[in-house]
Amino acid sequence: AGLAGAGWLYLRREKEQRLRQRRLRDLRALALGQGDFQLQDTSGAPRSRSDLLGRWVLLYFGFTHCPDVCPEELEKLCRAVELLEGVPGLPPVQPLFITVDPARDDAAALGRYLRDFHPRLQGLTGTAEQVRAAAGAFRVYVSAGDPDPDGDYVVDHSVLTFLLGPDGLVRDCYGRSRTAEELARSVRRHMESYEPLPP
């Protein structure tokens, strides 16, 4: 019975690994996040995709004037990071926010907005073309609405949080329905089973 149980566990582990590898190949085939980007952080320093290599990253695209969805998603992302920080032995996760509204979200505005969420949360902005290229690399939909009489407007965009592995590849993405606890559990599973995907 013990031998049969061990065999079953081995087969189950092999099947899970094959499914993970297939999902990663599918993500790579989609080319999500594989294009480079050139943006600036809140101190004005240039940042590119290569700066993220070697780290686990939870990335969210949004904008500082968002009335509810973006703050909720950032709070959830940062809570997941805090949960992971409480697990001994796990590598740190870099929380990252890229604006989809560079006209209003310059480096100073991003810095003021993000400091209330998590001490390590980084923000990136740039020109309209640079931000469009970064969003396009992750296939994030972005569309600014018409301004109201006060000049205010809402930016419609995909509500997704991306997990990037140390190899820079998108390892998973999470929709709005996922909780911070579910994000943390998923990230931990990815860390524990991490193998760089062959080129």
Binding site residues, as ranges?
A: 66, 70, 157
Residue 29 C-alpha from the chain's centroid: 18
Between CA 31 and CA 28 the distance in angstroms is 5
- Known binding residues for Cu cation are 66, 70, 157
Between CA 184 and CA 117 the distance in angstroms is 17
User: Which DSSP string do the residues of 98-156 spell out, in sequence order?
Assistant: EES-TTT--HHHHHHHHTTT-TT-EEEE--HHHHHHHHHHTT--EEE----TTS---EE
Residue 3 C-alpha from the chain's centroid: 42
